[in-house]
Chain A
Amino acid sequence: MNRPVKERKKVVITGMGVISTAGYDLDSFWNTLYNGKVTYGKMDDYKDNKNYRINIGARIKDTAWYSQLTESFDSSMGMASNYAVFCTNKALENAGLDMTMLPSGRTTVSIGTTMGEVQVEEKISELRKQMPINEIPHKLLKQYSTDNIGKNVQKAIKAKGTNYNVPTACAAGNYSITLASKLIESGQIDVAVAGGVDVFSRVAFTGFQRLLSLAPDFCRPFDKNRKGLVVGEGCGIFILESADFARARGAKAIGEILGSGLTSDRYHMTAPHPEGDGAVRAMNIALKEAQLSLEDIDYISAHATGTPINDKIEVKAMEKVFGINKIPPTSSIKSMLGHAMGAASALELIASLQMMERGVILPTVNYVEKDPQCSIDCVPNSPRASKLNYALSNSFAFGGQVSSLIVKRGGLL
């Protein structure tokens, strides 16, 4: 099924940009997570609302990054677009690329999201309580389209090439990165801007609340007393390049994408397949494509949202792939960031690449009591020094969309 490796161009990651509750630069992001800091808490605007039994959420409060966007972009775009444009500019800077270096017609923008510009819809709903729909400002209405996110990124970097907005829920980052990397592998393009973004959504917060899926205090992946997830937000953007293109301009690779598995559970909109069917296949496809053995994987970035069912099924799937008691060290930074929805897999990939660069595995915090059904080394509570060459990152989404991405530690090209 897989084309021989020699026919596929190598895909390297040369730049990253981040906005999250752990900070909006890569060092702050790393330091916050390394110190095991929980970046979510009670939300003031929900505390007196009796409709919300739980008011814990992960919201980006620091708006200092906002001033770095030009005024014209700021006022015409929704918040998701603002996040994506900011992170893209940071990723390009990190890659040592400026817009003039992007190859015309051979640069792709591929952005994933769960809810798109949902805060625009939420403002519209609030206005509809006061006015009829035909009095809602057209400028606001125009900001809603999910299409705007990828377009605004492309306009900001003035790149010529294909452009994809791929809403694939909580696996959006992995899906958008895979789409872009396949285009580079096949020689269609040389450079891609790819990643995931989501803003904090009242709709999502309400929905998860009503599904009784929210944690009342902390996200506790793999813990016996885990109760649910924490809704969050953020953005992670990567610059992907063909290794040849990167080498020619003297760039350094932060990482290399070796393989990806995208599958579907075909089971249920909100519950994972009870046997982890999609997850097992995704991990196996990624491993086969990466041409790695099970023992090569040094670390797994788990999807692990902290819900009772998800974490158990993910462990079951990992056991089927790696063998019981043979699962590599596995952690979930959602314990510290909450669940950034479409940005989650992108933020987790940033963290995984940083872990490989620094030789440290970030912990799963808030871990108090072992769950016999999740009996893995989840790197509890403290970071751990470890040489890491290959990492596998899982993300599973509503609708049974499943993804596994394998990356190799970066270096000179």
Chain B
Amino acid sequence: MKPCEGNYLSIDKTQCEEILKGFKLRNVDSISKFALASAKMALENRRISIEKDKAYNYGLVLGTEYGVLNSIHDFDMVSVEKGALSVNPGLFPNTVLNSPACQVGIQLGIAGPIFTVSNGVCSGLDAISIAYHQIKSEMATMVMAGGADEVCQLQLAMHESVLPIVESSAFVILEDSTKTSFEHKNKAIEIVAYDSNVLYEWEEKNIIESCIELINNVINQSDLYIEDIGLIDCSILTDKKNGEKLVNNICNQINFSGNLKFNNTDKMGATGIVQLVQLIKNIEDEQLKGKRTATLILNIGNERISLLLVNKYTDK
């Protein structure tokens, strides 16, 4: 794989500003705005309104691969080129890696735990896992799990991917189904299980072995079988041909006969969240109407593998 050179799509900043009308956003950087816009839309979609003077036990987890790299670099370059006295102190908070998550928290009134997770392309799925554990351990009653990444010149020089890069931001909302009454349960997804690993040697044989092990782990954590999985939704940071070959190899070894879907863009830290959002939007499609309603979301890249097993929600 080679560093990317200019092959990317960016978010329409005008549309983002439109969504954020009414917010006070002086000195708030782009990535924070992206995250805030999608978080706001998620709350609206779920019809949750937060009164800021009340400390609801709501949490937030934001996954991001590069985070505030652009803000750090811009701040530092002013210091290096013109001297420290030339930097704008109002921009300093943007250089702290947790800044986007906290900006969202401040603007939306999140009073519970706020996490940022920086795990490369797996950041989004890993954010969901942290949110999931927060609900299970009763640290929060509702957690917003999101992913956001922007593109900048320095990042393009660092990033390795053969897929076109896409600036992205997305959020999902996780709640304990036994403690929440909500409309449109037929549009809800249940988080069933999660697992992940870091590989010491990033070779195809090791990737396949680890994926199979992780898939077996998540199956064992649930009351599902491989036959219940209708779709494996993959995001792999390699070219399409090699990615498909790798996943087909895995599928043969675990006797998976369902559908496969491959992402053809690299959404960096937002990848897993966008995959989940797209799945939720397609929840009424044929695949989820049938018996095989479970989906495995698989992210492979940056020497990491993360996977999330989800299923169509049913009242039990």
Distance (whole angstroms) from the CB of B114 to the closest CB of chain A: 5
Provide 26 A-B residue pairs closer than 8 Å at the C-beta atoms, listed in order of the A residue: A49-B84, A114-B96, A115-B72, A125-B80, A133-B153, A136-B157, A138-B3, A155-B198, A161-B197, A163-B119, A163-B197, A164-B119, A164-B126, A169-B98, A179-B133, A202-B79, A203-B95, A210-B92, A263-B55, A263-B111, A269-B93, A269-B106, A399-B102, A399-B105, A400-B105, A401-B102
Question: Is the CB–CB distance between A105 and B217 below 8 Å?
Answer: yes
Contact between A167 and B95, CB atoms less than 8 A apart: no
CB distance from B112 to the nearest CB of A (A): 6
Is B96 a contact of A164 with CB atoms below 8 Å?
Answer: no
Judge whether B76 is part of the interface by a CB distance below 8 angstroms.
yes
Whether B196 sits at the interface, judged by CB under 8 Å, is: yes
Complex Cα distance, B153 from A185, in Å, reads: 43
- Determine the chain B residues whose CB is within 8 A of the CB of A226 once the complex forms: none
Chain A residues within an 8 Å CB radius of B273:
none
Q: Would you call A281 an interface residue if the criterion is a C-beta within 8 Å of the partner chain's C-beta atoms?
A: yes
Q: Would you list the 3 A-B pairs with minimal beta carbon distance, nearest first? A: A399-B102, A207-B92, A167-B97
Within 8 A of A (CB), among B133-184: 133-134, 136-139, 153-154, 157-158
Q: Which of A144-152, A293-301, A405-413 contacts B (4 or more CB under 8 A)?
A: A144-152
Contact of A206 with B by CB under 8 A: yes
What A residues does B3 contact at CB under 8 A?
138, 141
Q: A133, A168, A207, A210: which contacts B157 (Cβ < 8 A)?
A: A133
Assess whether B119 is in contact with A264, with CB atoms less than 8 Å apart.
no
| Other-chain residue from A125, A128, A209 in contact with B84 (beta carbon distance below 8 A) | A209
A101 at the interface (CB under 8 A from B): no
**Contact between B96 and A169, CB atoms less than 8 A apart:** yes
Given A263-B112, A400-B105, check contact A151 B303 (CB 8 Å): yes
Q: What separation, in Å, do the CA atoms of A399 and B28 have in the docked complex?
A: 12
Q: Which of B96-134 contact A (CB under 8 A)?
A: 96-99, 101-103, 105-106, 109-120, 123, 126, 129-130, 133-134
Closest B residue to A403 by CB, please name it: B113
Q: Which residues of B contact A248 (CB under 8 A)?
A: none
B103 close to A146 (CB less than 8 A) = no
Q: Would you call A266 an interface residue if the criterion is a C-beta within 8 Å of the partner chain's C-beta atoms?
A: yes
Known: A3-B138, A144-B69, A155-B200. A51 touches B84 (CB 8 A): yes
CB distance from B117 to the nearest CB of A (A): 6
B115 and A168 contact, CB distance less than 8 A:
yes
User: What count of chain A residues pass the 8 Å CB interface test?
Assistant: 78
Tell me how far the C-beta of A270 lies from the nearest C-beta in chain B, rounded to whole angstroms.
6
* Contacting pair A122 B115 (CB below 8 A): no
Residues 101-135 of chain A, each 1 if its beta carbon lies under 8 Å from chain B, else 0:
00001000100011110100110111011000110
Q: How far is the CA of A361 from the CA of B290 in the complex (A)?
A: 64
Contact of A398 among B73, B93, B198 (CB under 8 A): B93
Neighbouring B residues of A126 by C-beta, 8 Å: 80
CB distance from B175 to the nearest CB of A (A): 15
Which of A146, A265, A397: most chain B Cβ within 10 A? A146
Q: Closest chain A residue to B82 by CB distance?
A: A51
Say if the beta carbon of B75 comes within 8 Å of chain A: yes
Cross-chain contact of A146 among B67, B81, B110, B197 (Cβ < 8 A): B67
Tell me whether B115 and A141 are in contact (CB under 8 A).
no
A265 to chain B: which residues have CB within 8 Å? 106
Give A342 Cβ to nearest chain B Cβ, in Å.
Answer: 9
Using a CB–CB distance below 8 Å, which chain B residues touch chain A? Answer: 3, 52, 55, 57, 65-67, 69, 72-73, 75-77, 79-81, 83-85, 87-89, 92-93, 95-99, 101-103, 105-106, 109-120, 123, 126, 129-130, 133-134, 136-139, 153-154, 157-158, 195-198, 200, 213, 217, 302-304
CB contacts (< 8 Å) of B123 on chain A: these are: 147
Which A residues between 315 and 336 are near B, CB-CB below 8 angstroms? none
Contacts of B303 in A (CB 8 A): 151
List residues of chain B with CB within 8 A of the CB of A52.
84
Q: Count how many pairs of residues, one from A and one from B, have CB atoms less than 8 Å apart in the complex.
A: 222
- List chain B residues, Cβ under 8 A from A185: 137
* Bound CA span A145–B139, Å: 29
For the complex, is A165 an interface residue (Cβ under 8 Å from B)?
yes
Q: Do residues A113 and B119 form an inter-chain contact, with CB atoms below 8 A?
A: no
Question: Which A positions have Cβ atoms within 8 angstroms of B?
Answer: 1-3, 49, 51-52, 105, 109, 113-116, 118, 121-122, 124-126, 128-129, 133-134, 136, 138, 141-142, 144-147, 150-151, 154-155, 158, 160-169, 175, 179, 182-183, 185-186, 188, 202-204, 206-211, 262-270, 277-278, 281, 397-401
B191, chain A: closest CB distance, angstroms? 14
B118 to A146, Cβ gap below 8 A?
yes
Pick the contact of B80: A129, A166, A204 (CB < 8 A).
A129
| Inter-chain contact A144/B138, CB cutoff 8 Å | no
Residue of B nearest to A52 (CB): B84
Q: Which residues of B contact A209 (CB under 8 A)?
A: 84
Measured in the bound complex, the distance between the Cα atoms of B139 and A2 in whole Å is 8
Given A185-B137, A399-B105, A400-B102, A150-B80 contact (CB < 8 Å): no
Centre residue among B57, B98, B109, B110 by max chain A CB count within 10 A: B98
User: In the complex, which residues of chain B have a beta carbon less than 8 angstroms from the beta carbon of A114?
Assistant: 96-98
Q: How far is the CA of A162 from the CA of B98 in the complex (A)?
A: 21
Assess whether B105 is in contact with A165, with CB atoms less than 8 Å apart. no
| A264 in contact with B112 (CB, 8 Å) | yes
A147 and B65 contact, CB distance less than 8 A: yes
- Of the candidates B65, B77, B106, B114, which one forms a contact with A125 in the assembled complex, judged by CB atoms under 8 Å apart? B77
For A124, list chain B residues within 8 Å (CB): 73, 154
Chain A neighbourhood of B85, CB < 8 A: 51, 210
Contact A121 B73 (CB under 8 A): yes
A145 surroundings in chain B (CB, below 8 A): 65-66, 118, 120, 158, 302
Further contacts, 10 of them, CB under 8 A, given A151-B304, A162-B197, A210-B85: A49-B84, A51-B83, A126-B80, A155-B200, A158-B200, A161-B197, A164-B117, A210-B87, A269-B106, A401-B102
* Minimum distance in angstroms from A38 CB to a CB of chain B: 24
Task: Name the residue on A nearest B91 (C-beta).
Answer: A207
- Asked whether, in the complex, the Cβ of B97 is within 8 Å of the Cβ of A207, the reply is no
Task: Give the one of A125, A126, A133, A150 with max B CB within 10 A.
Answer: A125
Residues of chain B contacted by A141 (CB below 8 angstroms)? 3, 154, 157-158
Most A Cβ at <10 Å: residue of B52, B79, B134, B304: B79
Inter-chain CA distance A122–B76, complex, in Å, is 7
Specify which chain A residues have a CB less than 8 angstroms from the CB of B79 in the assembled complex: 51, 125, 202-203, 206
